Structure 1
Amino acid sequence: MDVNLARTFLVVAETGSFVDTARKLNITQSTVSARIKGLEDLLGRPLFTRSKSGAELTGAGELFQKHALAMVRVWQQAQLQVSLADQHPEHVSVGAPMSLWGGFLLKWVTGLRVQIPGIAVSATAGTSPMLSQRLIEGTLDLAIMYRPSPPPGLTIEHLFDEEFVLVSSAKPSTRRGVNDYLLVDWGADFLQDHAAAFPEHANPAISLDLGPMGLDYLLANECSGYFPARMVRKLIARGRVREPKRARKFVYPVYMVYPETRNEEAYEPILRGLRRAAAKLG
Protein backbone atom coordinates (compact mmCIF):
# COMPACT_ATOMS: atom_id res chain seq x y z
CA MET A 1 0.00 0.00 0.00
CA ASP A 2 1.22 3.51 -0.86
CA VAL A 3 2.17 5.17 2.42
CA ASN A 4 0.71 8.43 1.07
CA LEU A 5 -2.75 6.86 1.32
CA ALA A 6 -2.25 6.19 5.02
CA ARG A 7 -0.74 9.63 5.61
CA THR A 8 -3.65 11.35 3.83
CA PHE A 9 -6.15 9.27 5.81
CA LEU A 10 -4.55 10.36 9.10
CA VAL A 11 -4.69 14.05 8.19
CA VAL A 12 -8.37 13.79 7.21
CA ALA A 13 -9.05 12.01 10.51
CA GLU A 14 -7.22 14.81 12.36
CA THR A 15 -8.79 17.78 10.56
CA GLY A 16 -12.21 16.30 9.77
CA SER A 17 -12.04 18.04 6.41
CA PHE A 18 -10.97 17.11 2.88
CA VAL A 19 -10.42 20.81 2.12
CA ASP A 20 -8.16 21.38 5.13
CA THR A 21 -6.26 18.17 4.35
CA ALA A 22 -5.60 19.35 0.79
CA ARG A 23 -4.32 22.67 2.12
CA LYS A 24 -2.15 21.00 4.77
CA LEU A 25 -0.60 18.50 2.35
CA ASN A 26 -0.35 21.04 -0.48
CA ILE A 27 -2.37 18.89 -2.89
CA THR A 28 -5.74 19.31 -4.58
CA GLN A 29 -9.00 18.32 -2.93
CA SER A 30 -9.67 15.91 -5.79
CA THR A 31 -6.37 14.16 -4.99
CA VAL A 32 -7.43 13.80 -1.35
CA SER A 33 -10.78 12.36 -2.43
CA ALA A 34 -9.11 9.96 -4.87
CA ARG A 35 -6.67 8.72 -2.23
CA ILE A 36 -9.40 8.09 0.35
CA LYS A 37 -11.57 6.40 -2.29
CA GLY A 38 -8.62 4.20 -3.30
CA LEU A 39 -7.98 3.28 0.32
CA GLU A 40 -11.64 2.44 0.91
CA ASP A 41 -11.64 0.26 -2.23
CA LEU A 42 -8.56 -1.60 -0.97
CA LEU A 43 -10.12 -2.22 2.44
CA GLY A 44 -13.63 -2.83 1.16
CA ARG A 45 -15.16 -0.55 3.79
CA PRO A 46 -16.09 3.16 4.00
CA LEU A 47 -13.68 4.93 6.34
CA PHE A 48 -15.44 8.30 6.58
CA THR A 49 -18.99 9.56 6.70
CA ARG A 50 -19.13 12.64 4.47
CA SER A 51 -21.42 15.56 5.18
CA LYS A 52 -21.57 19.32 4.61
CA SER A 53 -19.91 19.85 7.99
CA GLY A 54 -16.93 17.64 7.13
CA ALA A 55 -15.80 14.03 7.43
CA GLU A 56 -16.14 11.75 10.46
CA LEU A 57 -14.52 8.37 10.99
CA THR A 58 -16.73 5.33 10.64
CA GLY A 59 -16.26 2.32 12.91
CA ALA A 60 -13.99 0.79 10.28
CA GLY A 61 -12.08 4.06 10.07
CA GLU A 62 -11.46 4.09 13.81
CA LEU A 63 -10.15 0.53 13.63
CA PHE A 64 -7.87 1.38 10.72
CA GLN A 65 -6.46 4.51 12.37
CA LYS A 66 -3.95 2.70 14.60
CA HIS A 67 -2.76 0.61 11.66
CA ALA A 68 -2.30 3.72 9.54
CA LEU A 69 -0.22 5.28 12.32
CA ALA A 70 1.90 2.12 12.46
CA MET A 71 2.43 2.12 8.69
CA VAL A 72 3.59 5.74 8.65
CA ARG A 73 5.92 5.19 11.63
CA VAL A 74 7.45 2.09 10.04
CA TRP A 75 8.06 4.01 6.83
CA GLN A 76 9.61 6.95 8.69
CA GLN A 77 11.84 4.54 10.64
CA ALA A 78 12.94 2.88 7.41
CA GLN A 79 13.78 6.26 5.87
CA LEU A 80 15.78 7.23 8.96
CA GLN A 81 17.81 4.03 9.06
CA VAL A 82 18.55 4.10 5.32
CA SER A 83 19.66 7.74 5.52
CA LEU A 84 22.00 6.92 8.43
CA ALA A 85 23.47 3.79 6.85
CA ASP A 86 26.48 5.45 5.22
CA GLN A 87 27.69 7.36 8.28
CA HIS A 88 26.38 5.04 11.00
CA PRO A 89 26.48 1.32 10.20
CA GLU A 90 24.54 0.51 13.39
CA HIS A 91 21.37 2.09 14.72
CA VAL A 92 19.21 1.53 17.80
CA SER A 93 15.82 3.06 18.54
CA VAL A 94 15.08 3.31 22.28
CA GLY A 95 11.95 4.36 24.13
CA ALA A 96 11.19 4.98 27.81
CA PRO A 97 9.03 7.14 30.08
CA MET A 98 10.37 10.66 30.59
CA SER A 99 11.34 9.86 34.20
CA LEU A 100 13.86 7.22 33.10
CA TRP A 101 15.65 9.44 30.61
CA GLY A 102 16.71 12.02 33.18
CA GLY A 103 19.71 10.93 35.24
CA PHE A 104 19.84 7.40 33.79
CA LEU A 105 19.25 6.65 30.12
CA LEU A 106 20.89 9.80 28.76
CA LYS A 107 24.06 8.82 30.64
CA TRP A 108 23.75 5.31 29.22
CA VAL A 109 23.46 6.71 25.69
CA THR A 110 26.71 8.62 26.24
CA GLY A 111 28.45 5.43 27.33
CA LEU A 112 26.94 3.49 24.43
CA ARG A 113 28.36 5.98 21.93
CA VAL A 114 31.78 5.55 23.51
CA GLN A 115 31.46 1.76 23.51
CA ILE A 116 30.16 1.59 19.91
CA PRO A 117 31.40 4.78 18.18
CA GLY A 118 29.59 4.12 14.89
CA ILE A 119 26.15 3.66 16.39
CA ALA A 120 23.28 6.09 15.86
CA VAL A 121 20.67 6.38 18.62
CA SER A 122 17.05 7.49 18.24
CA ALA A 123 15.39 8.24 21.57
CA THR A 124 11.74 8.75 22.36
CA ALA A 125 9.61 9.24 25.48
CA GLY A 126 6.17 7.71 25.94
CA THR A 127 3.79 5.61 27.98
CA SER A 128 4.21 1.86 28.41
CA PRO A 129 1.27 0.94 26.11
CA MET A 130 2.61 3.19 23.36
CA LEU A 131 6.14 1.81 23.72
CA SER A 132 4.85 -1.79 23.64
CA GLN A 133 2.89 -1.03 20.48
CA ARG A 134 5.95 0.42 18.79
CA LEU A 135 8.00 -2.63 19.73
CA ILE A 136 5.40 -4.79 18.01
CA GLU A 137 5.43 -2.52 14.95
CA GLY A 138 9.20 -2.74 14.79
CA THR A 139 9.76 1.02 15.08
CA LEU A 140 11.46 0.52 18.47
CA ASP A 141 14.34 -1.87 19.10
CA LEU A 142 14.34 -1.54 22.87
CA ALA A 143 12.08 -0.09 25.56
CA ILE A 144 12.70 0.54 29.25
CA MET A 145 9.56 0.87 31.36
CA TYR A 146 7.78 0.30 34.63
CA ARG A 147 5.56 -2.77 35.09
CA PRO A 148 5.29 -3.77 31.43
CA SER A 149 2.60 -6.13 30.16
CA PRO A 150 4.00 -6.92 26.72
CA PRO A 151 2.28 -9.35 24.36
CA PRO A 152 3.93 -12.56 23.13
CA GLY A 153 7.05 -12.07 21.06
CA LEU A 154 8.73 -9.69 23.47
CA THR A 155 11.24 -10.49 26.23
CA ILE A 156 11.18 -8.61 29.55
CA GLU A 157 14.22 -8.42 31.82
CA HIS A 158 14.32 -6.78 35.24
CA LEU A 159 16.88 -3.99 35.50
CA PHE A 160 16.38 -2.35 38.92
CA ASP A 161 13.74 -1.08 41.33
CA GLU A 162 12.93 2.61 41.09
CA GLU A 163 12.26 4.27 44.45
CA PHE A 164 10.37 7.56 44.58
CA VAL A 165 11.04 9.58 47.73
CA LEU A 166 9.57 12.76 49.15
CA VAL A 167 12.02 15.67 49.22
CA SER A 168 11.64 19.29 50.27
CA SER A 169 13.54 22.43 49.36
CA ALA A 170 11.96 24.39 52.24
CA LYS A 171 13.89 25.23 55.39
CA PRO A 172 13.31 22.69 58.19
CA SER A 173 11.88 25.37 60.47
CA THR A 174 9.35 26.52 57.90
CA ARG A 175 5.82 25.23 58.25
CA ARG A 176 4.46 24.22 54.88
CA GLY A 177 0.88 23.66 53.75
CA VAL A 178 -0.88 21.87 50.93
CA ASN A 179 -0.40 24.93 48.73
CA ASP A 180 3.34 24.30 48.75
CA TYR A 181 3.08 20.77 47.42
CA LEU A 182 4.39 19.90 43.95
CA LEU A 183 2.82 16.92 42.17
CA VAL A 184 4.98 15.56 39.35
CA ASP A 185 3.36 13.15 36.92
CA TRP A 186 5.58 10.05 37.00
CA GLY A 187 3.10 7.88 35.14
CA ALA A 188 -0.32 6.30 35.62
CA ASP A 189 0.78 3.81 38.29
CA PHE A 190 2.42 6.50 40.42
CA LEU A 191 -0.53 8.89 40.12
CA GLN A 192 -2.97 6.15 41.12
CA ASP A 193 -0.92 5.07 44.14
CA HIS A 194 -0.24 8.68 45.12
CA ALA A 195 -3.94 9.58 44.99
CA ALA A 196 -4.78 6.66 47.27
CA ALA A 197 -2.03 7.55 49.76
CA PHE A 198 -2.53 11.34 49.77
CA PRO A 199 -6.14 12.31 49.03
CA GLU A 200 -5.41 15.75 50.51
CA HIS A 201 -3.17 16.43 47.49
CA ALA A 202 -5.81 15.55 44.92
CA ASN A 203 -5.86 19.15 43.66
CA PRO A 204 -2.33 20.51 44.19
CA ALA A 205 -1.43 24.12 43.52
CA ILE A 206 1.34 23.00 41.17
CA SER A 207 1.07 19.90 38.94
CA LEU A 208 3.78 19.24 36.36
CA ASP A 209 3.78 16.76 33.50
CA LEU A 210 7.46 17.46 32.90
CA GLY A 211 9.22 14.54 34.58
CA PRO A 212 12.81 15.34 35.61
CA MET A 213 12.38 19.04 34.77
CA GLY A 214 10.14 19.31 37.82
CA LEU A 215 13.33 19.20 39.87
CA ASP A 216 14.29 22.62 38.51
CA TYR A 217 11.06 24.02 39.93
CA LEU A 218 11.66 22.37 43.30
CA LEU A 219 15.16 23.87 43.57
CA ALA A 220 13.93 27.34 42.61
CA ASN A 221 10.94 27.37 44.98
CA GLU A 222 10.36 26.28 48.56
CA CYS A 223 8.11 23.26 48.13
CA SER A 224 8.06 19.48 48.39
CA GLY A 225 7.34 16.62 46.01
CA TYR A 226 8.23 13.09 44.98
CA PHE A 227 11.28 12.31 42.82
CA PRO A 228 13.31 9.21 41.93
CA ALA A 229 15.87 8.61 44.69
CA ARG A 230 18.70 8.32 42.13
CA MET A 231 17.86 11.82 40.92
CA VAL A 232 18.01 13.54 44.32
CA ARG A 233 20.59 11.47 46.20
CA LYS A 234 23.46 13.92 45.64
CA LEU A 235 21.23 16.92 46.34
CA ILE A 236 20.28 15.42 49.71
CA ALA A 237 23.95 14.77 50.53
CA ARG A 238 24.83 18.40 49.68
CA GLY A 239 21.96 19.79 51.72
CA ARG A 240 20.20 21.30 48.71
CA VAL A 241 17.05 19.36 49.58
CA ARG A 242 16.07 17.25 52.55
CA GLU A 243 14.13 14.02 52.89
CA PRO A 244 11.52 14.20 55.67
CA LYS A 245 11.72 11.34 58.13
CA ARG A 246 9.18 8.53 57.94
CA ALA A 247 7.77 9.80 54.66
CA ARG A 248 5.98 7.29 52.43
CA LYS A 249 8.03 5.80 49.57
CA PHE A 250 6.83 4.32 46.29
CA VAL A 251 8.78 1.54 44.58
CA TYR A 252 8.32 0.32 41.00
CA PRO A 253 10.33 -2.33 39.14
CA VAL A 254 11.98 -1.20 35.91
CA TYR A 255 12.37 -3.60 32.99
CA MET A 256 13.97 -3.55 29.59
CA VAL A 257 11.81 -5.04 26.84
CA TYR A 258 13.08 -6.26 23.48
CA PRO A 259 12.08 -8.71 20.72
CA GLU A 260 12.47 -12.43 21.39
CA THR A 261 13.65 -12.87 17.80
CA ARG A 262 16.62 -10.54 17.32
CA ASN A 263 20.17 -10.26 16.06
CA GLU A 264 22.03 -11.51 19.16
CA GLU A 265 25.38 -10.17 17.97
CA ALA A 266 24.01 -6.65 17.53
CA TYR A 267 21.76 -6.59 20.61
CA GLU A 268 23.98 -8.15 23.28
CA PRO A 269 26.57 -5.30 23.60
CA ILE A 270 23.68 -2.83 23.93
CA LEU A 271 21.84 -4.89 26.55
CA ARG A 272 25.06 -5.60 28.45
CA GLY A 273 25.84 -1.88 28.68
CA LEU A 274 22.33 -1.17 29.93
CA ARG A 275 22.66 -3.82 32.64
CA ARG A 276 25.96 -2.25 33.78
CA ALA A 277 24.38 1.23 33.87
CA ALA A 278 21.49 -0.09 35.97
CA ALA A 279 23.87 -1.86 38.38
CA LYS A 280 25.64 1.44 39.10
CA LEU A 281 22.42 2.94 40.43
CA GLY A 282 22.51 0.78 43.55
Structure 2
Amino acid sequence: MDIQLLKVFFTTAHEGSISKAANKLNFAQSNVTHKIQQLEADLQTQLFYRHNRGITLTPSGQILVSYAEKILHVIQEARLAVGDSSEPAGPLHIGSMETTASARLPMLLTKYHTEFPAVDFTLTTGPTEQHLHAVLHYEINGAFVAGPVEHPDLIQEKVIDEELVLVTSASHPPIQSVHDVQDRPLLVLRSGCAYRAKLNLLLKEEGLIPVKLMDFGSPETIIGCVGAGLGISLLPKTIAAEPEEQGRIRTHAIPGKHAIVTTVFIRRRDALITPALSAFLSAMRAHFN
Protein backbone atom coordinates (compact mmCIF):
# COMPACT_ATOMS: atom_id res chain seq x y z
CA MET A 1 0.00 0.00 0.00
CA ASP A 2 1.43 3.36 -1.07
CA ILE A 3 1.86 5.67 1.94
CA GLN A 4 1.30 8.79 -0.16
CA LEU A 5 -2.06 7.44 -1.35
CA LEU A 6 -2.98 6.61 2.24
CA LYS A 7 -2.11 10.15 3.35
CA VAL A 8 -4.29 11.64 0.60
CA PHE A 9 -7.16 9.34 1.57
CA PHE A 10 -6.88 10.16 5.28
CA THR A 11 -6.67 13.91 4.66
CA THR A 12 -9.73 13.76 2.40
CA ALA A 13 -11.69 11.75 4.97
CA HIS A 14 -10.65 14.15 7.75
CA GLU A 15 -11.53 17.27 5.75
CA GLY A 16 -14.74 15.75 4.37
CA SER A 17 -14.12 17.34 0.99
CA ILE A 18 -11.85 16.75 -2.00
CA SER A 19 -11.42 20.49 -2.53
CA LYS A 20 -10.46 21.09 1.12
CA ALA A 21 -8.05 18.15 1.03
CA ALA A 22 -6.49 19.47 -2.18
CA ASN A 23 -6.02 22.88 -0.58
CA LYS A 24 -4.44 21.38 2.56
CA LEU A 25 -2.12 19.11 0.58
CA ASN A 26 -1.38 21.80 -2.01
CA PHE A 27 -2.57 19.45 -4.80
CA ALA A 28 -4.91 19.95 -7.71
CA GLN A 29 -8.38 18.49 -7.05
CA SER A 30 -7.95 16.16 -10.01
CA ASN A 31 -4.73 14.87 -8.44
CA VAL A 32 -6.51 14.07 -5.17
CA THR A 33 -9.32 12.32 -7.03
CA HIS A 34 -6.83 10.29 -9.07
CA LYS A 35 -4.88 9.15 -6.00
CA ILE A 36 -8.06 8.07 -4.21
CA GLN A 37 -9.05 6.10 -7.30
CA GLN A 38 -5.60 4.50 -7.31
CA LEU A 39 -6.02 3.43 -3.69
CA GLU A 40 -9.52 2.08 -4.37
CA ALA A 41 -8.14 0.06 -7.28
CA ASP A 42 -5.31 -1.26 -5.13
CA LEU A 43 -7.68 -2.32 -2.33
CA GLN A 44 -10.41 -3.38 -4.78
CA THR A 45 -13.09 -1.55 -2.84
CA GLN A 46 -14.91 1.79 -2.94
CA LEU A 47 -13.81 4.16 -0.17
CA PHE A 48 -16.11 7.14 -0.81
CA TYR A 49 -19.66 7.60 -2.04
CA ARG A 50 -19.77 10.48 -4.55
CA HIS A 51 -22.95 12.57 -4.56
CA ASN A 52 -24.20 16.10 -5.24
CA ARG A 53 -23.34 17.25 -1.70
CA GLY A 54 -19.75 16.00 -1.98
CA ILE A 55 -18.37 12.74 -0.57
CA THR A 56 -19.18 10.33 2.25
CA LEU A 57 -17.12 7.42 3.52
CA THR A 58 -18.34 3.96 2.61
CA PRO A 59 -18.25 1.22 5.28
CA SER A 60 -14.87 0.14 3.87
CA GLY A 61 -13.66 3.73 4.02
CA GLN A 62 -14.75 4.06 7.64
CA ILE A 63 -12.72 0.98 8.55
CA LEU A 64 -9.66 2.20 6.65
CA VAL A 65 -9.69 5.62 8.38
CA SER A 66 -8.78 4.18 11.78
CA TYR A 67 -6.01 2.05 10.28
CA ALA A 68 -4.71 4.97 8.21
CA GLU A 69 -4.53 7.18 11.30
CA LYS A 70 -2.46 4.58 13.17
CA ILE A 71 -0.20 3.82 10.19
CA LEU A 72 0.57 7.47 9.48
CA HIS A 73 1.25 8.12 13.17
CA VAL A 74 3.61 5.13 13.43
CA ILE A 75 5.52 6.38 10.37
CA GLN A 76 5.86 9.82 11.98
CA GLU A 77 7.02 8.20 15.22
CA ALA A 78 9.60 6.16 13.32
CA ARG A 79 11.00 9.34 11.79
CA LEU A 80 11.18 10.98 15.20
CA ALA A 81 12.76 7.92 16.80
CA VAL A 82 15.46 7.67 14.14
CA GLY A 83 16.14 11.40 14.03
CA ASP A 84 15.89 12.22 17.71
CA SER A 85 18.99 12.85 19.74
CA SER A 86 18.98 12.51 23.51
CA GLU A 87 18.59 16.30 23.80
CA PRO A 88 14.94 17.49 23.98
CA ALA A 89 14.08 19.30 20.76
CA GLY A 90 11.40 19.48 18.09
CA PRO A 91 7.63 19.76 18.46
CA LEU A 92 5.68 19.13 21.66
CA HIS A 93 1.93 19.80 21.65
CA ILE A 94 0.13 19.78 25.00
CA GLY A 95 -3.54 20.44 25.79
CA SER A 96 -5.03 21.86 28.98
CA MET A 97 -8.26 23.03 30.54
CA GLU A 98 -8.43 26.83 30.56
CA THR A 99 -8.42 27.07 34.36
CA THR A 100 -5.43 24.76 34.75
CA ALA A 101 -3.51 26.63 32.08
CA SER A 102 -4.02 30.01 33.72
CA ALA A 103 -3.60 29.02 37.37
CA ARG A 104 -1.22 26.05 37.40
CA LEU A 105 0.97 26.03 34.29
CA PRO A 106 2.72 29.42 33.85
CA MET A 107 5.64 28.65 36.17
CA LEU A 108 6.02 25.10 34.83
CA LEU A 109 6.03 26.23 31.19
CA THR A 110 8.44 29.08 31.88
CA LYS A 111 10.90 26.76 33.61
CA TYR A 112 10.55 24.12 30.87
CA HIS A 113 11.15 26.64 28.09
CA THR A 114 14.17 28.07 29.90
CA GLU A 115 15.75 24.62 30.29
CA PHE A 116 14.81 23.29 26.84
CA PRO A 117 14.65 26.20 24.38
CA ALA A 118 15.04 23.86 21.38
CA VAL A 119 11.59 22.37 22.01
CA ASP A 120 8.89 23.88 19.79
CA PHE A 121 6.18 23.95 22.47
CA THR A 122 2.48 24.49 21.71
CA LEU A 123 -0.29 24.75 24.31
CA THR A 124 -3.94 24.37 23.31
CA THR A 125 -6.67 25.19 25.83
CA GLY A 126 -10.18 23.78 25.83
CA PRO A 127 -12.59 21.47 27.64
CA THR A 128 -11.74 17.95 28.76
CA GLU A 129 -13.78 16.22 26.02
CA GLN A 130 -11.88 18.10 23.32
CA HIS A 131 -8.51 17.01 24.70
CA LEU A 132 -9.57 13.38 25.15
CA HIS A 133 -10.44 13.25 21.46
CA ALA A 134 -7.22 14.99 20.45
CA VAL A 135 -4.98 12.66 22.47
CA LEU A 136 -6.77 9.54 21.26
CA HIS A 137 -6.39 10.66 17.64
CA TYR A 138 -2.69 11.49 17.98
CA GLU A 139 -3.35 15.21 17.46
CA ILE A 140 -1.53 16.23 20.66
CA ASN A 141 1.09 14.52 22.83
CA GLY A 142 -0.82 14.79 26.10
CA ALA A 143 -3.25 16.93 28.06
CA PHE A 144 -4.27 18.18 31.49
CA VAL A 145 -7.91 17.15 31.94
CA ALA A 146 -10.45 16.47 34.68
CA GLY A 147 -10.17 12.94 36.00
CA PRO A 148 -10.42 10.18 36.57
CA VAL A 149 -10.18 9.04 32.94
CA GLU A 150 -10.84 5.38 32.22
CA HIS A 151 -9.81 4.36 28.71
CA PRO A 152 -7.73 1.32 27.68
CA ASP A 153 -5.63 3.36 25.24
CA LEU A 154 -4.71 6.09 27.72
CA ILE A 155 -2.31 6.45 30.62
CA GLN A 156 -3.26 8.98 33.31
CA GLU A 157 -1.15 10.55 36.02
CA LYS A 158 -2.70 12.47 38.90
CA VAL A 159 -1.52 16.06 38.94
CA ILE A 160 -3.49 17.86 41.64
CA ASP A 161 -6.86 18.05 43.42
CA GLU A 162 -8.76 21.28 42.83
CA GLU A 163 -11.28 22.64 45.33
CA LEU A 164 -14.38 24.01 43.65
CA VAL A 165 -16.40 26.92 45.03
CA LEU A 166 -19.53 28.80 44.06
CA VAL A 167 -18.64 32.30 42.91
CA THR A 168 -20.95 35.28 43.30
CA SER A 169 -20.72 39.05 43.36
CA ALA A 170 -18.92 40.51 46.37
CA SER A 171 -22.18 41.85 47.86
CA HIS A 172 -24.00 38.50 47.72
CA PRO A 173 -25.05 37.14 51.15
CA PRO A 174 -23.68 33.79 52.39
CA ILE A 175 -24.97 30.74 50.52
CA GLN A 176 -26.21 27.89 52.70
CA SER A 177 -27.47 25.75 49.81
CA VAL A 178 -27.68 25.84 46.02
CA HIS A 179 -31.38 26.45 46.54
CA ASP A 180 -30.38 29.97 47.62
CA VAL A 181 -29.24 30.76 44.07
CA GLN A 182 -31.60 28.65 41.98
CA ASP A 183 -33.15 31.73 40.40
CA ARG A 184 -29.83 33.18 39.20
CA PRO A 185 -28.31 32.70 35.72
CA LEU A 186 -25.43 30.21 35.70
CA LEU A 187 -22.26 31.36 33.95
CA VAL A 188 -20.38 28.35 32.58
CA LEU A 189 -17.54 27.44 30.26
CA ARG A 190 -18.36 25.77 26.96
CA SER A 191 -19.82 22.28 26.65
CA GLY A 192 -17.37 19.55 27.62
CA CYS A 193 -16.02 21.46 30.63
CA ALA A 194 -15.72 19.29 33.74
CA TYR A 195 -16.73 22.13 36.08
CA ARG A 196 -19.88 22.72 34.07
CA ALA A 197 -20.71 19.01 34.30
CA LYS A 198 -20.06 19.10 38.06
CA LEU A 199 -22.42 22.07 38.50
CA ASN A 200 -25.12 20.35 36.45
CA LEU A 201 -24.77 17.23 38.60
CA LEU A 202 -25.01 19.26 41.82
CA LEU A 203 -28.21 20.94 40.62
CA LYS A 204 -29.69 17.67 39.38
CA GLU A 205 -29.14 15.97 42.74
CA GLU A 206 -30.96 18.86 44.41
CA GLY A 207 -33.82 18.56 41.93
CA LEU A 208 -33.12 21.98 40.43
CA ILE A 209 -33.31 23.13 36.82
CA PRO A 210 -31.14 26.13 35.86
CA VAL A 211 -33.13 29.26 35.08
CA LYS A 212 -30.60 30.17 32.40
CA LEU A 213 -27.21 28.91 31.26
CA MET A 214 -24.81 31.43 29.74
CA ASP A 215 -21.72 30.13 27.91
CA PHE A 216 -18.38 31.95 28.14
CA GLY A 217 -15.00 31.32 26.57
CA SER A 218 -12.73 31.96 29.55
CA PRO A 219 -12.82 31.89 33.36
CA GLU A 220 -11.56 35.48 33.46
CA THR A 221 -14.66 36.66 31.57
CA ILE A 222 -16.91 34.65 33.87
CA ILE A 223 -15.31 36.23 36.95
CA GLY A 224 -15.73 39.72 35.50
CA CYS A 225 -19.40 39.13 34.74
CA VAL A 226 -20.08 37.42 38.08
CA GLY A 227 -18.46 40.37 39.83
CA ALA A 228 -20.78 42.70 37.95
CA GLY A 229 -23.80 40.76 39.24
CA LEU A 230 -24.77 38.93 36.05
CA GLY A 231 -25.05 35.52 37.72
CA ILE A 232 -23.13 32.82 39.59
CA SER A 233 -20.59 30.19 38.63
CA LEU A 234 -18.64 27.16 39.87
CA LEU A 235 -14.85 27.49 39.53
CA PRO A 236 -11.62 26.25 41.12
CA LYS A 237 -10.76 28.17 44.28
CA THR A 238 -7.30 28.97 42.89
CA ILE A 239 -8.88 30.91 40.02
CA ALA A 240 -11.20 32.83 42.35
CA ALA A 241 -8.69 33.56 45.13
CA GLU A 242 -7.07 36.72 43.74
CA PRO A 243 -10.31 38.38 42.52
CA GLU A 244 -11.84 37.67 45.94
CA GLU A 245 -8.86 39.28 47.70
CA GLN A 246 -9.38 42.31 45.45
CA GLY A 247 -13.00 42.52 46.60
CA ARG A 248 -14.42 41.81 43.14
CA ILE A 249 -16.24 38.55 43.96
CA ARG A 250 -17.17 36.28 46.85
CA THR A 251 -16.71 32.49 47.11
CA HIS A 252 -18.91 29.97 48.90
CA ALA A 253 -18.13 26.36 49.86
CA ILE A 254 -20.17 23.52 48.34
CA PRO A 255 -20.98 19.98 49.64
CA GLY A 256 -17.91 17.79 50.16
CA LYS A 257 -18.53 15.16 47.49
CA HIS A 258 -18.77 17.87 44.83
CA ALA A 259 -16.04 20.12 46.19
CA ILE A 260 -13.05 18.31 44.71
CA VAL A 261 -12.14 17.58 41.11
CA THR A 262 -8.89 15.82 40.24
CA THR A 263 -6.72 17.09 37.41
CA VAL A 264 -4.80 14.37 35.58
CA PHE A 265 -2.32 14.33 32.71
CA ILE A 266 -3.21 11.87 29.96
CA ARG A 267 -1.24 10.46 27.02
CA ARG A 268 -1.65 7.56 24.64
CA ARG A 269 -0.37 4.24 25.94
CA ASP A 270 1.15 3.31 22.56
CA ALA A 271 2.68 6.70 21.72
CA LEU A 272 6.42 7.25 21.50
CA ILE A 273 7.87 9.17 24.46
CA THR A 274 10.22 11.58 22.73
CA PRO A 275 13.01 13.33 24.64
CA ALA A 276 10.86 16.49 24.61
CA LEU A 277 7.87 14.68 26.15
CA SER A 278 10.08 12.78 28.61
CA ALA A 279 11.60 16.05 29.83
CA PHE A 280 8.13 17.59 30.13
CA LEU A 281 6.85 14.66 32.20
CA SER A 282 9.84 14.95 34.54
CA ALA A 283 9.34 18.71 34.89
CA MET A 284 5.61 18.24 35.51
CA ARG A 285 6.16 15.63 38.23
CA ALA A 286 8.75 17.80 39.97
CA HIS A 287 6.50 20.87 39.74
CA PHE A 288 3.38 19.26 41.21
CA ASN A 289 5.02 17.01 43.82
What TM-score do the two structures reach when normalised by structure 1? 0.72
Structure 1 equivalent of residue 116 of structure 2 = 116
1:202: how far off? 3.5
Structure 2 equivalent of residue 270 of structure 1 = 280
Distance change >3 Å, CA 246–CA 99, structure 1 → 2 = closer
Does 2:244 correspond to 1:236? yes
Q: Structure 1: how far apart are the matches of 2:277 and 2:28?
A: 45
Distance change >3 Å, CA 203–CA 52, structure 1 → 2 = same
| 3-state secondary structure, aligned to 2:56 | strand
Question: What code does the residue aligned with 1:254 have?
Answer: T
Q: How does 1:123-272 map to 2 (within 5 A)?
A: 123-126=123-126, 128=128, 131-132=131-132, 134-135=134-135, 139-146=139-146, 147-152=148-153, 154-172=154-172, 178-185=183-190, 187=192, 189-199=194-204, 200-202=208-210, 204-211=212-219, 213-244=221-252, 249-258=258-267, 269-272=279-282
1:222: how far off? 4.1
The answer to whether the 8 A contact 2:222-2:233 is kept is no
Q: Structure 1: how far apart are the matches of 2:172 and 2:248?
A: 12
Q: Structure 1: how far apart are the matches of 2:133 and 2:284?
A: 22
Offset from partner CA, 1:47-96 (integer Å, 9 cap, x none): 22223454322222333445556677788999999xxx9xx835433222
Question: What code does the residue aligned with 1:182 have?
Answer: L
| 3-state secondary structure, aligned to 2:249 | coil
1:23: how far off? 7.4
| 3-state secondary structure, aligned to 2:143 | strand
1:214: how far off? 2.9
Distance change >3 Å, CA 136–CA 179, structure 1 → 2 = closer
Structure 1 equivalent of residue 177 of structure 2 = none
The equivalent position to 1:10 in structure 2, one of 14, 17, 22, is: 14
Distance change >3 Å, CA 106–CA 60, structure 1 → 2 = farther
| 3-state secondary structure, aligned to 1:231 | helix
Question: What code does the residue aligned with 1:274 have?
Answer: M
Report which stretch shifted further, 162-171 or 214-223.
214-223
Q: Structure 2: how far apart are the matches of 1:78 and 1:211?
A: 40
Question: What code does the residue aligned with 2:233 have?
Answer: G
1:255: how far off? 1.7
Offset from partner CA, 1:233-254 (integer Å, 9 cap, x none): 2222332211135567432212
Report which stretch shifted further, 166-175 or 115-124.
166-175
Structure 1 equivalent of residue 51 of structure 2 = 51
Does 2:92 correspond to 1:92? yes
Give identity over the alignment, percent: 19
Distance change >3 Å, CA 94–CA 37, structure 1 → 2 = same
Distance change >3 Å, CA 179–CA 260, structure 1 → 2 = closer
Unaligned runs of 5+ in 2: 175-179
The answer to whether the 8 A contact 2:49-2:58 is kept is yes
| 3-state secondary structure, aligned to 1:46 | coil
The answer to whether the 8 A contact 1:235-1:241 is kept is yes
Unaligned runs of 5+ in 1: none
Number of matched residues?
Answer: 273
The answer to whether the 8 A contact 2:127-2:191 is kept is no
What TM-score do the two structures reach when normalised by structure 2? 0.71
Structure 1 equivalent of residue 37 of structure 2 = 37
Report which stretch shifted further, 26-35 or 224-233.
26-35
Question: What code does the residue aligned with 1:151 have?
Answer: P
Question: What code does the residue aligned with 1:100 have?
Answer: T
| 3-state secondary structure, aligned to 1:148 | coil
Distance change >3 Å, CA 240–CA 189, structure 1 → 2 = closer
Q: Structure 2: how far apart are the matches of 1:140 and 1:127?
A: 14
1:164: how far off? 1.9
The answer to whether the 8 A contact 2:186-2:232 is kept is yes
